Chain A
């Protein structure tokens, strides 16, 4: 047994990483739904979920139970095989794309091996292309769900989705060419490292400044690719009931849901990595005081949770919230006490903060912007985004030819 483990150590480590990442991503997904409902509710002067658990924090659990136990009818005349395949395809591809993302620069040394954060090997030369390849296949989940349900609303949703994906995939791919030219590599780690070439500039050394056009195109196209508001025409409630997933119930619906939220996370990761320096700190490298920022965020937040918890109206909340708050405070204190641990969490801290920021922007946009009309969507994609991203490629190439990638 031991020798078998030693012989296949690489395989075992990868499987453990996959299970761990799946657990984390699915948990984050669940709480992303809670976060979205809370933020949108507050934008609209409501409270959002607040009945199940303190501050509605157990709502995702209740939703998950509901998904598992609901009746799961298959519509008459549906193409059974494709009908079952579609949600599986959507979920698998969405979850696979996370595997390409690197989460930290330095490997952890465990059991005499360097273990990198992230599943893909650190020298994956086609990083960003592999990601695009996976997301390019992602549209089939939605399109096939629409077609196989044998319902006109679903079909219209699927059609809209595939048309939208075809139109926006072009600008999505073109918009990152500038970043690739500046980094000279498809590898996501190289792209982040290329943004560290001016360590003293910090925030102002990132790709978002020279590539502001590219970032604009990328972010808009990525929102369209993930079918989120204001580009959520494939599931426009007022016109198509629920769009491509009208005929899906129970856990098959949940699979589409999880797929959508996972691709939101992937896009947020990509935005942070391609344009916002990935795990780089926004402060100049010579500032060491900013290394305590994780603790500065965690300790007051933990104390606030404790304060809020002891005054909470339900007994359950008064019991749970102070414990959670104490745990957060203790974590913040631990980072202050153990400097090596503090150094190690710097990179993941910044990456996760940026991902969180982009997820917030996603939700914010959904709460703020009205949906596009269909012709506006097409005109916007083909007549504005595509030309702008092409101009960005040409501009970047010329600048790099004249002055080099600085």
Chain B
């Protein structure tokens, strides 16, 4: 086993363990911490693929900014341990089916596109900052701008909703 492969399995295991623990943890802060582990592990996987810029941005934006906001809100609301109700019997069977379907779908996709995923990781389009910015600001400039517009609308909406009513 080569060194990158070992690192890959360690990071992948961390990501999966983090994701499972995110669901199983009782306390919101512990769940948030698990999510941070997932984010950082995925950033490590990006780094392993040679996508340094994406890895750094993944940690700065998701690991840093967004998760800090999560933790902040959980602390601000002082959310306690969540209460578990008895699982609905109705939800069990369809849930299991859905899980199986999703797992099958993911497995099929990975099996089918294994070769092409490797090919894109080696072209290096995503590895350099220049390549990424050319993709975002040239090839996909309209979807990108539309997305930012959408986020702007969401910010404005949140501001309007949060505003105190004028007396």
A residues with a Cβ closer than 8 A to B are: 79, 82, 125-126, 129-130, 132-133, 136-137, 139-140, 143-144, 146-147, 155, 158-159, 162-163, 165-166, 169, 173, 186
Q: Which of B57, B64, B65, B72 contacts A159 (CB 8 A)?
A: B72
A129 touches B60 (CB 8 A): yes
Closest CB of chain B to A99's CB: distance in Å? 15
Whole-angstrom distance between the alpha carbons of A143 and B128 in the complex?
34
Task: Tell me which residues from 8 to 66 in chain B have a Cβ below 8 Å from any Cβ of chain A.
Answer: 27, 29-30, 33, 36, 40, 43, 52-53, 55-57, 59-60, 63-65
Closest CB of chain B to A229's CB: distance in Å? 22
A129-B53, A129-B56, A133-B56 known; A162-B64 Cβ under 8 A: no
A137-B63, A140-B36, A169-B64 known; A132-B72 Cβ under 8 A: no
Whole-angstrom distance between the alpha carbons of A112 and B68 in the complex?
46
Q: Which of B68, B76, B78, B129 contacts A186 (CB 8 A)?
A: B129
Whole-angstrom distance between the alpha carbons of A169 and B65 in the complex?
8
For residue B39, which residue of chain A has the nearest CB? A137
Residue among A79, A130, A146 having the largest count of chain B Cβ atoms under 10 Å: A130
Pairs across A and B, CB under 8 Å, 30 listed: A79-B29, A82-B33, A125-B52, A125-B129, A126-B55, A129-B56, A129-B57, A129-B60, A132-B64, A133-B56, A133-B59, A133-B64, A137-B36, A137-B40, A137-B59, A137-B64, A139-B68, A140-B68, A143-B71, A143-B75, A155-B75, A155-B78, A159-B75, A159-B76, A162-B68, A162-B71, A166-B65, A166-B69, A166-B72, A169-B65
B129 touches A136 (CB 8 A): no
A126-B53, A130-B56, A133-B59 known; A146-B75 Cβ under 8 A: yes
Further pairs besides A129-B52, A169-B65: 15, Cβ < 8 Å: A126-B55, A129-B60, A132-B56, A132-B60, A133-B55, A133-B60, A133-B64, A136-B63, A143-B68, A143-B71, A143-B72, A143-B75, A144-B29, A166-B68, A166-B72
Closest CB of chain B to A228's CB: distance in Å? 19
Give chain A residues whose Cβ lies under 8 Å from the Cβ of B33: 82, 144
Whole-angstrom distance between the alpha carbons of A162 and B32 in the complex?
14
Give chain B residues whose Cβ lies under 8 Å from the Cβ of A173: 60
For residue B53, which residue of chain A has the nearest CB? A126
- Total number of B residues with any Cβ neighbor in A under 8 Å: 26
Whole-angstrom distance between the alpha carbons of A166 and B76 in the complex?
14
Q: Mark B68-86, 1 if CB is under 8 A from A, else 0.
A: 1101100110100000000
Give chain B residues whose Cβ lies under 8 Å from the Cβ of A162: 68, 71-72, 75
A147 touches B29 (CB 8 A): yes
Give chain B residues whose Cβ lies under 8 Å from the Cβ of A132: 56, 60, 64
Closest CB of chain A to B26's CB: distance in Å? 11
For residue B57, which residue of chain A has the nearest CB? A129
For residue A131, which residue of chain B has the nearest CB? B56
For residue A143, which residue of chain B has the nearest CB? B71
Give chain A residues whose Cβ lies under 8 Å from the Cβ of B29: 79, 82, 144, 147
For residue B128, which residue of chain A has the nearest CB? A125
Closest CB of chain B to A28's CB: distance in Å? 26
Closest CB of chain B to A164's CB: distance in Å? 10
A136 touches B65 (CB 8 A): yes
Give chain A residues whose Cβ lies under 8 Å from the Cβ of B55: 126, 133
Whole-angstrom distance between the alpha carbons of A94 and B128 in the complex?
27
Give chain A residues whose Cβ lies under 8 Å from the Cβ of B129: 125, 186
